[in-house]
Amino acid sequence: MTIRYLTAGESHGKGLTAILEGIPAGVPITEAEINKELSRRQNTFGRGERQMHIEKDAVQLLSGIRFGQTIGDPITLFVKNKDWENWGKVMSLIEEDFDDKFSQLKARPGHADLAGVIKFARRDIRDILERASARETAARTAVGTVCRKFLSLFDIEIFSWVTEIGGVRATLPRLPIQEIARLAKESPVLCPQPKAAKAMMQKIMAAKKAGDSLGGVYEVVATGLPIGLGSFQQWDLKLDGLIAQALMSIQAHKGVEVGDGFALGRMKGSKANDEIFFKEKGQFFRKTNHAGGLEGGMSNGEPLVVRAVLKPIASLRNPLRSVNIRTKEEVSAEIVRSDIAPVAAAAVVGEAVVAITLAQEFKRKFGGDSLREMKDNFERYQRYVQSY
Amino acid sequence: MTIRYLTAGESHGKGLTAILEGIPAGVPITEAEINKELSRRQNTFGRGERQMHIEKDAVQLLSGIRFGQTIGDPITLFVKNKDWENWGKVMSLIEEDFDDKFSQLKARPGHADLAGVIKFARRDIRDILERASARETAARTAVGTVCRKFLSLFDIEIFSWVTEIGGVRATLPRLPIQEIARLAKESPVLCPQPKAAKAMMQKIMAAKKAGDSLGGVYEVVATGLPIGLGSFQQWDLKLDGLIAQALMSIQAHKGVEVGDGFALGRMKGSKANDEIFFKEKGQFFRKTNHAGGLEGGMSNGEPLVVRAVLKPIASLRNPLRSVNIRTKEEVSAEIVRSDIAPVAAAAVVGEAVVAITLAQEFKRKFGGDSLREMKDNFERYQRYVQSY
Amino acid sequence: MTIRYLTAGESHGKGLTAILEGIPAGVPITEAEINKELSRRQNTFGRGERQMHIEKDAVQLLSGIRFGQTIGDPITLFVKNKDWENWGKVMSLIEEDFDDKFSQLKARPGHADLAGVIKFARRDIRDILERASARETAARTAVGTVCRKFLSLFDIEIFSWVTEIGGVRATLPRLPIQEIARLAKESPVLCPQPKAAKAMMQKIMAAKKAGDSLGGVYEVVATGLPIGLGSFQQWDLKLDGLIAQALMSIQAHKGVEVGDGFALGRMKGSKANDEIFFKEKGQFFRKTNHAGGLEGGMSNGEPLVVRAVLKPIASLRNPLRSVNIRTKEEVSAEIVRSDIAPVAAAAVVGEAVVAITLAQEFKRKFGGDSLREMKDNFERYQRYVQSY
Amino acid sequence: MTIRYLTAGESHGKGLTAILEGIPAGVPITEAEINKELSRRQNTFGRGERQMHIEKDAVQLLSGIRFGQTIGDPITLFVKNKDWENWGKVMSLIEEDFDDKFSQLKARPGHADLAGVIKFARRDIRDILERASARETAARTAVGTVCRKFLSLFDIEIFSWVTEIGGVRATLPRLPIQEIARLAKESPVLCPQPKAAKAMMQKIMAAKKAGDSLGGVYEVVATGLPIGLGSFQQWDLKLDGLIAQALMSIQAHKGVEVGDGFALGRMKGSKANDEIFFKEKGQFFRKTNHAGGLEGGMSNGEPLVVRAVLKPIASLRNPLRSVNIRTKEEVSAEIVRSDIAPVAAAAVVGEAVVAITLAQEFKRKFGGDSLREMKDNFERYQRYVQSY
* Strands B294-295 and C4-8, bridge-based pairing: unpaired
Whether B292 shows a pLDDT value over 70: the answer reads: yes
B99 min Cα distance to partner chain A (Å) = 21
Closest-CA residue of D relative to C279 is: D328
DSSP assignment string, D82-123? GGGGGGTTTT-S-GGG--GGG---BPPTTSSHHHHHHHTT-S
CB pairs under 8 A between A and B: 357
DSSP collapsed to 3 states, A213-282: CECEEEEEEEECCCCCCCCCCCHHHCHHHHHHHHHHCCCCEEEEEECCHHHHHHCEHHHHCCCCEEECCC
Determine whether the interchain pair A127/C71 forms a contact, defined as Cβ–Cβ distance below 8 Å.
Answer: yes
Contacts of B367 in chain C (CB under 8 A): 363-368, 377
Determine whether the interchain pair D2/A376 forms a contact, defined as Cβ–Cβ distance below 8 Å.
Answer: no
Q: Quote the DSSP letter at residue A53.
A: I
Chains that touch D (3 or more CB pairs under 8 A): A, B, C
One-letter amino acid for residue B122 of the chain: R
Q: Please give the average per-residue pLDDT across B15-19, as a whole number.
A: 98
Out of B110, B121, B259, the one facing A274 most closely (by C-beta) is B110
- Comparing B65 with B85, the larger pLDDT belongs to B65
Whether A16 shows a pLDDT value over 60: the answer reads: yes
Out of A119, A227, A270, the one facing B115 most closely (by C-beta) is A227
Closest-CA residue of A relative to B119 is: A228
Q: Please give the average per-residue pLDDT across D131-136, as a whole number.
A: 96
Biggest CA–CA distance in chain B, Å, is 75
D119 min Cα distance to partner chain C (Å) = 5
C257 pairs with which residues across the strands?
C307, D255
Determine whether the interchain pair C269/D107 forms a contact, defined as Cβ–Cβ distance below 8 Å.
Answer: no
Q: How high is the pLDDT of residue C314? A: 86
Contacts of A233 in chain D (CB under 8 A): 1, 21, 72-74
Contacts of C73 in chain A (CB under 8 A): 8, 10, 130-131
CA Rg, chain D, in Å?
Answer: 22
> What's the rounded Cα separation, in Å, for the pair D285 and D277?
5
Q: What's the pLDDT band for C51 if we cut at 50, 70, 90? A: low
Choose among D39, D40, D30: nearest CA to D60: D30
C31 min Cα distance to partner chain B (Å) = 22
Would you say the C-alpha torsion B283, B289, B292, B296 has a positive or negative sign? negative
Cβ C58 vs Cβ C16: under 8 Å: no
DSSP assignment string, D177-234? HHHHHHHHHHSTT--SSHHHHHHHHHHHHHHHHTT--B-EEEEEEEE-PPTT-S-SSS
Out of A7, A243, A298, the one facing B119 most closely (by C-beta) is A298
Closest-CA residue of D relative to C243 is: D245
Contacts of B25 in chain C (CB under 8 A): none
D171 min Cα distance to partner chain B (Å) = 42
Which of these ranges, A172-186, B50-64, C19-33, D294-308, has the smallest mean pLDDT?
B50-64
Rounded to the nearest 5°, which phi and psi values hold at A63? Answer: -165, 165
Q: What's the pLDDT band for A53 if we cut at 50, 70, 90? A: low
The contacts of residue A99 (CB under 8 Å, 6+ apart) are A89
* Local structure of D18: helix, strand or coil: strand
One-letter amino acid for residue D126 of the chain: R
CB pairs under 8 A between A and D: 66
C112-160 residue pLDDT tens: 999 999 999 999 999 999 999 999 999 999 999 999 999 999 999 999 9
Q: How high is the pLDDT of residue B43? A: 85
Q: How high is the pLDDT of residue B45? A: 84
> What's the rounded Cα separation, in Å, for the pair D250 and D253?
6
Whether A75 shows a pLDDT value over 70: the answer reads: yes
Q: Which one of B233, B361, B374, B385 makes the best mutation probe of the C interface by having the most chain C beta carbons within 10 Å?
A: B233
Biggest CA–CA distance in chain D, Å, is 75
D162 min Cα distance to partner chain C (Å) = 11
Out of D13, D65, D74, the one facing B63 most closely (by C-beta) is D13
C73 min Cα distance to partner chain B (Å) = 6
Whether B49 shows a pLDDT value over 70: the answer reads: no
- Comparing B55 with D296, the larger pLDDT belongs to D296
D140 min Cα distance to partner chain A (Å) = 21
D233 min Cα distance to partner chain A (Å) = 6
Whether D385 shows a pLDDT value over 60: the answer reads: yes
Q: Give, for C139, the enclosing helix (H) or strand (E).
A: helix C137-152
Q: How high is the pLDDT of residue C175? A: 96
Would you say the C-alpha torsion A346, A352, A356, A359 has a positive or negative sign? positive
> What's the rounded Cα separation, in Å, for the pair A107 and A124?
10
Cβ A248 vs Cβ A257: under 8 Å: no
Expressed in angstroms, the distance from the first to the final Cα of chain D is: 28
* Local structure of D296: helix, strand or coil: coil
Cβ B299 vs Cβ A115: under 8 Å: yes
C310-328 residue pLDDT tens: 999 988 888 899 999 999 9
CB contact burial C347-382 (16+ within 10 A = b; e otherwise): bbbbbbbbbbbbbbbbbbbbbbbbbebbbbbbeebe
Number of Cβ atoms within 10 Å of the Cβ of C155: 12
Q: How high is the pLDDT of residue A336? A: 73
Out of A140, A264, A322, the one facing B309 most closely (by C-beta) is A264
Chains that touch B (3 or more CB pairs under 8 A): A, C, D
Contacts of A120 in chain C (CB under 8 A): 24-25, 71-72, 369-370
CB pairs under 8 A between C and D: 360
> What's the rounded Cα separation, in Å, for the pair C223 and C352?
14
> What's the rounded Cα separation, in Å, for the pair D242 and D297?
9
Q: What's the pLDDT band for D142 if we cut at 50, 70, 90? A: very high
Out of B17, B71, B76, the one facing D120 most closely (by C-beta) is B71
CB pairs under 8 A between A and C: 179
Our measurement of the distance from residue D4's CA atom to the centroid of its chain's CA atoms, rounded to an integer in Å, reads: 16
> What's the rounded Cα separation, in Å, for the pair A370 and C343?
34
Choose among C97, C42, A129, A296: nearest CA to B136: A296
C250 min Cα distance to partner chain D (Å) = 7
Q: How high is the pLDDT of residue C338? A: 78
Q: How high is the pLDDT of residue B83? A: 85
Q: What's the pLDDT band for D107 if we cut at 50, 70, 90? A: very high
D4-63 residue pLDDT tens: 999 999 999 999 999 999 999 999 999 999 999 999 999 888 776 555 555 589 999 999
Closest-CA residue of B relative to C234 is: B74
Q: How high is the pLDDT of residue A12? A: 96
> What's the rounded Cα separation, in Å, for the pair A254 and A250?
9
CA Rg, chain A, in Å?
Answer: 22
DSSP assignment string, D333-366? PPP----S-THHHHHHHHHHHHHHHHHHHHHHHH
Choose among A141, A329, A364: nearest CA to A236: A364
Out of D72, D74, D369, the one facing B6 most closely (by C-beta) is D74
Out of D18, D30, D122, the one facing B25 most closely (by C-beta) is D122
Residue count of chain A, please give it. 388
Contacts of D228 in chain A (CB under 8 A): 369
Task: Give the CATH H-level superfamily of domain C4-387.
Answer: Chorismate synthase AroC (3.60.150.10)
B217-263 residue pLDDT tens: 999 999 999 999 999 999 999 999 999 999 999 999 999 999 999 99
Q: Please give the average per-residue pLDDT across B63-92, as a whole number.
A: 95
Determine whether the interchain pair D367/A377 forms a contact, defined as Cβ–Cβ distance below 8 Å.
Answer: yes
Q: How high is the pLDDT of residue A50? A: 53
Closest-CA residue of A relative to B217 is: A265
Q: How far is CA C76 from CA A58, A131, B273, C73, in A?
A: 18, 13, 33, 9
Contacts of B382 in chain C (CB under 8 A): none
Out of B364, B373, B384, the one facing C1 most closely (by C-beta) is B364
Out of D107, D298, D325, the one facing C116 most closely (by C-beta) is D298
D382 min Cα distance to partner chain C (Å) = 10
The contacts of residue A106 (CB under 8 Å, 6+ apart) are A125, A322, A323, A324, A325, A331, A332, A333, A334
Contacts of C31 in chain A (CB under 8 A): 93
Q: Give, for B255, the enclosing helix (H) or strand (E).
A: strand B253-258
Q: How far is CA C357 from CA C129, C300, D251, in A?
A: 26, 16, 20
Residue count of chain D, please give it. 388
> What's the rounded Cα separation, in Å, for the pair D70 and D93?
33
Q: How high is the pLDDT of residue D55? A: 58
CA Rg, chain C, in Å?
Answer: 22
Q: How high is the pLDDT of residue A49? A: 57
Domain boundaries, chain C: 4-387
Contacts of A251 in chain B (CB under 8 A): 296
Our measurement of the distance from residue C34's CA atom to the centroid of its chain's CA atoms, rounded to an integer in Å, reads: 14
Contacts of B25 in chain D (CB under 8 A): 120-122, 127
pTM tops 0.95? yes
D160 pairs with which residues across the strands?
D220
Mean pLDDT of chain A: 95
A323 pairs with which residues across the strands?
A330
Biggest CA–CA distance in chain C, Å, is 75
Cβ A87 vs Cβ A15: under 8 Å: no
Cβ A313 vs Cβ A129: under 8 Å: no
Rounded to the nearest 5°, which phi and psi values hold at A265? Answer: -65, -15
